[in-house]
Amino acid sequence: MPLVIDGLTIGDDVIDQEFSAIKAHYESLGSISCCERDGEFRGYARDNITFRALLTQEAQRTISEPAAEEVTRAFDKLKEEHGGGDRFYADSGLTPEQDEFIRRDLSLNLQVETLRAETCKALPAPTETECRQFYDSSLDQFSDEDEVCASHIFKSVREVEKREEIFKALCEVRQRLVDGADFTELAREHSDKPAEEIDLGAYLVLGKGEEKTAGRLKDSLLANSFEAVIAAVYLDGGLQAATEFVDSTVYGYLTGAIEDNVRFNDFKSVLQERLQSVGRPLPEGRGRAAPPAA
């Protein structure tokens, strides 16, 4: 159903787009599963659009239009942030023929930003106590570092009650990744390709000793090289490019491990958990004396 705000009609397509963005945000935090909060998110979408429409109308009424030079500077900055004009048009799906439309939108945005700045200028800065109170009352809106790093994996979880169990598994996965061991399999996978594809081992610069002992196939060196590739992608293309690369390589490996209930090489913990689940006592270890020296 369209939304009408002071005579301005907002179509369903705009509401659906806002709803999708809000839902994607909460999915990235790992706080929803499937469609359980769609009604709530649609309410947020309508509220957001209403607020923006009223803010825009007030800005048009009270703030003068910016000069053409100011709009041009804003347009140039926008292109620069995208890596140049060609990249901007490609990323936005727009064309140079739509520059006038873009400039009108930028002009309006500058009016809104001026109104916001003038309004906030009169407001006192929040105190440390107020910030702490807001944080304590809004804990569900914040994620710790591990939850953010694991958010793309949580998006595949279909049962909310399993999140606690899966997060525990992810902590184990994270520790293994920190140790580097689990990059080895991925690195080897990308080293066993045909010549025209990536071969990480072939690009390693090794000393004579490593060359003689098949260093290009060593687990530790392949793991390190795979980590270096991730770092290189990040430095060259930024966080988004690195995230896409990790999603296309590490993501499948980790989700497969979790879905199969794999605990890597920690067989002691697996045994203890299995015994506890069936009410059996934990095993006791006994040492053996070393044989006497000959």
In this prediction, residue 9 carries a pLDDT of 82
Residues whose CB falls within 8 Å of the CB of residue 53, separated by 6 or more in sequence, listed in order:
5, 6, 8, 10
Q: Which residues are bridge partners to 5 per DSSP?
A: 8
In this prediction, residue 196 carries a pLDDT of 46
Report CA Rg, the chain: 27
Question: What are phi and psi for residue 84, nearest 5 degrees?
Answer: 120, 165
Its pTM stands at 0.44
**CATH number for region 145-277:** 1.10.1520
In this prediction, residue 183 carries a pLDDT of 62
**CATH classification of 3-141, choosing from 3.40.50.150, 1.10.1740.10, 3.40.640.10, 1.10.4030.10?**
1.10.4030.10
In this prediction, residue 108 carries a pLDDT of 92
Distance CA 152, CA 239 (A): 14
Residue 84 zone, left/alpha/beta (φ > 0; ψ -120 to 50; rest): left
Whether 66 and 111 have beta carbons less than 8 Å apart is answered as yes
Cα torsion through 219, 221, 223, 225, rounded to 10: -150
Question: What are the distances in angstroms from CA 15 to CA 9, 144, 197, 216, 245?
Answer: 11, 30, 44, 54, 31
In this prediction, residue 210 carries a pLDDT of 78
Query: Two tokens at 253?
Result: 């490996």
Intrachain domains 3-141 and 145-277 with the same fold: no
Domain ranges across the chain: 3-141, 145-277
Other C-beta atoms within 10 Å of 8: how many?
12
Distance CA 28, CA 263 (A): 25
Distance CA 244, CA 226 (A): 15
Classify residue 13 as exposed, middle or buried by CB count within 10 Å of its CB (0-12, 13-18, 19+). Answer: exposed
Question: What are the distances in angstroms from CA 112 to CA 63, 125, 126, 244, 273?
Answer: 8, 21, 23, 34, 58
In this prediction, residue 263 carries a pLDDT of 46
Query: Two tokens at 124?
Result: 């006192």
What is the distance of C-alpha 7 from the center of its chain? 39
Query: Two tokens at 256?
Result: 């497969």
Whether 60 and 108 have beta carbons less than 8 Å apart is answered as yes
3-state secondary structure of 31: coil
| Closest to 59 in 3D by CA, of 105, 124, 123 | 105
Residues whose CB falls within 8 Å of the CB of residue 190, separated by 6 or more in sequence, listed in order:
197, 198, 199, 200, 226, 249
One digit per residue, pLDDT tens: the chain, 294 residues? Answer: 677 887 778 888 888 888 888 888 777 665 555 677 888 888 999 998 898 889 888 999 999 999 999 999 999 999 998 888 888 888 888 899 999 999 999 999 999 999 988 888 878 888 889 988 888 887 766 655 555 555 555 555 445 445 566 666 666 666 666 665 556 666 666 555 554 455 677 777 777 777 777 777 677 777 778 888 888 888 888 877 887 887 777 766 665 555 555 544 555 666 776 777 777 777 776 656 556 655
